[in-house]
């Protein structure tokens, strides 16, 4: 699925969101959580959410056995351990960490996640939220 | 800038231009910022001592062949990787500085899955996650068998003779038919793939005449671009069993009790006995458990066991198949394991179909990256160097080796997170991660020294490693000394015949092309 080719009408977006979720269902346990805001997402954010479920969630999802979430909980506290809930992630910082790794995190190469795809993931992480950012959210 | 051996910057620029004309401008990586992603972040020493000069990522077999022809023309060493996730054994790192990494990740098609016959044919870039999702999405009642990291390549792991945890755990044994680009660029299919359009590629391993598949495993004799892999039918029931052992000395008797069950097929998957240290790695960091330098002192162990609810050992295996058969086998197993001193009662968790929990992990062929939680243990750039000896499945041997290695690891300042696993009915592996902080050069060097000393000990007993990090391939190869390294000399003879220009993965498994071979005394 290529984000650039998607229609941006709200109906189309809702359909795409439903399709993405439906595709995710059989193995939904490993996927990014469904968002009630799905129909407000841009095609790039939708694509990013799907890519996050493929490339990031195994270490940065919620629950036990997630190495990245556990590491962030130790380093920054429980409330900032889940990347998808964070509102303070800077684009250049995420790009750098994904390409170079950080601590025990291993880098992702451009052959497995292209720059365009990484851009979608960051768009998803930076999607607008229904609520205001929590206080003290700066990195 | 890092250049291939004996090549000028000007000539290298010409080579890069030729490669770009084959795979596209964006798929040749020469800038330092890009190349660093193919270095091994877990290298036990200076990863740049074997730094690549470029990475090239073809998308088709024809592009692979064209790249190989360029490499032959200019004598450029090529190091093929499937997904390049062979961490603890070198990641995507070549053995020779200036090598061009041939990254096959973009070749990621699942070409066929046959549910009736239980096989898949895949390209190198297909991960265990990919294949698992594919089977789930199609509703196919087949299980994969995966190693701990689910992002590994199905093809690459089989080529390295990797191991999983279901009855199909021996990946090289489950491989069936290959397509290979030879070092000269010629394309070959092995097994029944040798017959054009054969429906038997994924079914029958042997062709008419010699079978060469094993030659392309842990070797540098060809680039495998397609592979058949057998997949297990979903069992009617799955029963995951666990027995905790409350005494350090209980491990040996447990191995002896498991061996006949494994040999006669009552237990069909690798039966593992994991140490408390092995269980603790994923749950805590070292600084949370012990703030001193060196291995955790023995007088702390009882308290740590209590704090983290650990036993000295935890035994794990599973049963697969028809409910009545599994129940009958479980009865036999309970009886066989009942008398082991210090053993808790066996716990058995039955599930089936979609109810099999994700927590069953690799024993149910569920891929994850949960094992990476262990990387948080050392702190800093948490890394592991795997020391993976093979033994006979004997309790006496296991206990003797455990005591020796536990003390040796401690002498070098490392904890010993051992798991003794009867991987095949006749072999016991002890895949042991040496956990270290790669940003600490002293610790990285100490990990390397420990590896060498532990390996030297194996040699005195006639044991060896099933796999080794690229930094130690020469010495592990040299340890196969029968008749003045006759096996290595055979490999070199084949190497020279198939790869006259010596371009393919020089140094892989300690096999070097003629021009780079040091004269042996």
Find the closest chain B residue to A69 by CA distance: B373
Q: Could you tell me how far CA B106 lies from the centroid of its own chain?
A: 21
Which pLDDT value is given to residue B254?
98
- Give the best residue of A66, A106, A115 to mutate against chain B (max B CB count within 10 A): A106
Q: A111 and B368 in contact by Cβ < 8 A? A: no
Residue A52 and residue A61: Cα distance in Å, rounded?
Answer: 9
B41 and A107 in contact by Cβ < 8 A? yes
**Known catalytic residues of B?**
89, 466-467
Cross-strand partners of B424: B427
Residues B140, B115 contacting (CB under 8 angstroms): yes
For residue B2, the number of C-alpha atoms closer than 13 Å in the C-beta half-sphere is 24
First to last CA, chain A: 32
pLDDT class for A39, splitting at 50, 70, 90? low
Integer Cα distance of B414 and B446 in angstroms = 9
Looking at the predicted complex, does its ipTM rise above 0.90?
yes
For range A122-131, the mean pLDDT? 87
Nearest-neighbour CA in chain B from A124: distance (Å)? 22
- Sort out which chain A residues have CB atoms less than 8 A from B359's CB and list them: 65
Using CA coordinates, name the residue in chain A closest to B133: A27
E strand intervals along B438-502: 464-465
A contacts of B375 (beta carbons < 8 Å): 67, 104
CA atoms within 13 A on the CB side of B191: 24
pLDDT in tens, A46-96: 999 999 999 999 999 998 899 999 999 999 999 999 999 999 999 999 999
pLDDT grade for A40, boundaries at 50, 70 and 90: confident
* Per-residue exposure over B121-140, b if at least 16 CB sit within 10 Å of its own CB, e if not: bbbbbbbbbbbbbbbeeeeb
**A-proximal residues of B, 124-143, CB under 8 Å:** 129, 132-133, 136-137, 139
Residues 440-479 of B with CB under 8 A from A: none
CA distance B136 to chain A (A): 6
Contact B376 A71 (CB under 8 A): yes
| CB contacts, 8 Å: B282 with chain A | 65
Chain A residues touching B383 at Cβ < 8 A: 104
Q: Phi first, then psi: what are they for B268, rounded to 5°?
A: -105, -10
Question: pLDDT 10s digit of each residue in chain B, 521 long?
Answer: 899 999 999 999 999 999 999 999 999 999 998 999 999 999 999 999 999 999 999 999 999 999 999 999 999 999 999 999 999 999 999 999 999 999 999 999 999 999 999 999 999 999 999 999 999 999 999 999 999 999 999 999 999 999 999 999 999 999 999 999 999 999 999 999 999 999 999 999 999 999 999 999 999 999 999 999 999 999 999 999 999 999 999 999 999 999 999 999 999 999 999 999 999 999 999 999 998 889 999 999 999 999 999 999 999 999 999 999 999 999 999 999 999 999 999 999 999 998 999 999 999 999 999 999 999 999 999 999 999 999 999 999 999 999 999 999 999 999 999 999 999 999 999 999 999 999 999 999 999 999 999 999 999 999 999 999 999 999 999 999 999 999 999 999 999 999 999 999 999 999 999 999 975 54
pLDDT higher than 70, residue A12: no
- As a whole number of angstroms, the distance between CA A130 and CA B34 comes to 37
Which pLDDT score is estimated for A13?
41
Contacts of B29 by beta carbon, 8 Å cutoff, 6+ apart: A110, B35, B38, B54, B55, B56, B57
pLDDT of residue B403: 98
Shortest distance, CA B32 to any CA of chain A (angstroms): 12
**In what helix (H) or strand (E) does residue B244 lie, and over which residues does it extend?**
strand B237-245
The pLDDT mean for chain A works out to: 77
**Which tokens hold the place of A97?**
């960490």
A30–chain B nearest CA distance, Å: 9
Q: Which of B129, B139, B370 sits opposite A65 (nearest CB)?
A: B370
Check residue B502 and give left, alpha or beta (phi > 0: left; psi -120 to 50: alpha): left
Q: Which residue has the tokens 């090239």?
A: B56
- Taking one residue from A and the other from B, the number of pairs with CB-CB distance under 8 angstroms is 77
Residue B414 touches chain A, beta carbons under 8 Å:
no
**d(C-alpha B352, C-alpha B363), whole Å:** 13
Name the minimum distance, in Å, from the CA of B3 to any CA of chain A. Answer: 21
Residue of B nearest to A115 (CA): B26
B81: closest chain A residue by CA: A111
Residue bearing the bigger pLDDT, A16 or B484:
B484
What span, in angstroms and rounded, lies between the C-alpha atoms of B191 and B178?
7
pLDDT bin (cut points 50, 70, 90) of residue A38 is: low
Q: What pLDDT is stored for residue B475 in this prediction?
A: 96
Distance CA B132, CA B502 (A): 37
Among B367, B372, B436, the residue to mutate for chain A (most A Cβ within 10 A)? B372
Angle at B366 between CA B363 and CA B372, to 5 degrees: 95
Chain A residues within 8 A of B380 when measuring between CB atoms:
103
Chain A partners within 8 Å of B129 (Cβ): 54, 58
Q: Which residues of A touch B90 (CB under 8 A)?
A: none
Interface residue ranges in chain A relative to chain B, Cβ cutoff 8 Å: 23, 26-27, 29-30, 54, 58-59, 64-67, 70-71, 74, 99-101, 103-104, 106-112
Neighbours of B98 (CB within 10 A): 19
Measured between CA atoms, the residue of chain A closest to residue B83 is: A112
Q: Which among A28, A58, A103, A104 is the top mutation candidate for probing chain B, defined by the most B β-carbons within 10 Å of its own β-carbon?
A: A104
**How is residue B466 written in tokens?**
């099933």
Using CB atoms, pick whichever of A59, A71, A101 lies closest to residue B41. Answer: A101
- With contacts defined as CB-CB under 8 Å, which chain B residues touch A106? 41, 87
Query: Which residue in B has a C-alpha nearest to residue A63's C-alpha?
Result: B370
State the smallest CA–CA distance between residue A105 and chain B in angstroms: 8
């Amino acid at each position: 699925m290529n984000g650039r080719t998607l229609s941006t009408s709200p109906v189309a977006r809702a359909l795409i969101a439903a399709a993405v979720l439906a595709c995710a269902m059989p193995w939904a346990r490993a996927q990014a959580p469904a968002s009630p805001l799905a129909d407000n997402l841009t095609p790039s954010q939708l694509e990013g959410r799907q890519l996050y479920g493929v490339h990031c969630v195994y270490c940065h999802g919620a629950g036990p056995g997630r190495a990245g979430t556990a590491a962030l909980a130790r380093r920054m506290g429980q409330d900032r351990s889940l990347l998808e809930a964070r509102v303070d992630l800077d684009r250049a910082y995420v790009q750098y960490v994904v390409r170079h790794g950080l601590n025990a995190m291993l880098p992702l190469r451009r052959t497995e996640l292209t720059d365009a795809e990484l851009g979608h993931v960051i768009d998803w992480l930076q999607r607008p939220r229904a609520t205001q950012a929590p206080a003290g959210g700066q990195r | 800038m890092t250049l291939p051996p004996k090549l000028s910057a000007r000539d290298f620029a010409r080579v890069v231009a030729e490669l770009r004309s084959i795979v596209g401008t964006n798929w040749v990586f020469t800038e330092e910022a890009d190349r660093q992603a193919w270095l091994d972040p877990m290298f036990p020493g200076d990863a740049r001592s074997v730094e690549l000069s470029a990475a090239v990522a073809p998308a088709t077999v024809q592009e692979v062949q064209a790249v190989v022809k360029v490499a032959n023309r200019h004598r450029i060493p090529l190091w093929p990787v499937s997904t390049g996730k062979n961490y603890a054994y070198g990641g995507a790192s070549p053995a020779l500085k200036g090598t061009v990494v041939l990254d096959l990740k973009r070749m990621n098609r699942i070409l066929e899955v046959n549910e009736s016959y239980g096989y898949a044919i895949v390209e190198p870039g297909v991960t265990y996650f990919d294949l698992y999702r594919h089977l789930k999405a199609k509703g196919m009642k087949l299980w994969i068998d995966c190693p701990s990291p689910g992002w590994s390549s199905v093809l690459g792991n089989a080529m390295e003779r990797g191991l999983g945890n279901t009855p199909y755990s021996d990946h090289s044994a489950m491989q069936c038919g290959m397509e290979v680009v030879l070092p000269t660029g010629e394309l070959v299919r092995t097994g029944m793939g040798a017959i054009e359009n054969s429906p038997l590629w994924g079914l029958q391993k042997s062709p008419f005449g010699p079978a060469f598949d094993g030659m392309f495993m842990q070797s540098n004799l060809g680039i495998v671009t397609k592979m058949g892999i057998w997949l297990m039918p979903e069992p009617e029931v799955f029963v995951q069993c666990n027995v905790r052992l409350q005494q350090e000395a209980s491990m040996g008797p447990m191995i002896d009790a498991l061996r006949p069950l494994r040999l006669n097929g009552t237990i069909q998957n690798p039966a593992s006995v994991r140490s408390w240290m092995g269980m603790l790695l994923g749950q805590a960091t070292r600084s949370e458990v012990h703030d001193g330098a060196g291995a955790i002192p023995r007088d702390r162990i009882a308290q740590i066991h209590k704090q983290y609810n650990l036993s000295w050992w935890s035994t794990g295996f599973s049963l697969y198949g028809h409910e009545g058969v599994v129940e009958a086998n479980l009865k036999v197993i309970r009886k066989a394991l009942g008398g082991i001193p210090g053993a808790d009662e066996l716990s058995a968790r039955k599930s089936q179909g979609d109810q099999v929990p994700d927590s069953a992990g690799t024993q149910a062929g569920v891929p994850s990256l949960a094992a990476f939680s262990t990387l948080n243990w050392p702190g800093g750039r948490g890394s592991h160097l795997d020391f993976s000896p093979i033994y006979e499945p004997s309790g006496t041997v296991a206990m003797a080796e455990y005591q020796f290695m536990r003390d040796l690891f401690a002498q070098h300042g490392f904890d010993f997170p051992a798991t003794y696993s009867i991987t095949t009915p006749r072999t016991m592996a002890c895949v042991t991660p040496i956990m270290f902080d790669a940003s600490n050069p002293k610790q990285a060097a100490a990990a390397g020294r420990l590896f060498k000393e532990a390996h030297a000990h194996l040699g005195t007993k006639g044991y060896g490693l099933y796999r080794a990090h690229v930094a130690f391939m020469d010495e592990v190869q040299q340890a196969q000394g029968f008749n003045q390294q006759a096996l290595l000399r055979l490999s070199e003879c084949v190497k020279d015949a198939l790869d006259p220009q010596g371009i393919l993965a020089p140094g892989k498994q300690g096999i070097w092309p003629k021009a780079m071979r040091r004269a042996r005394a």
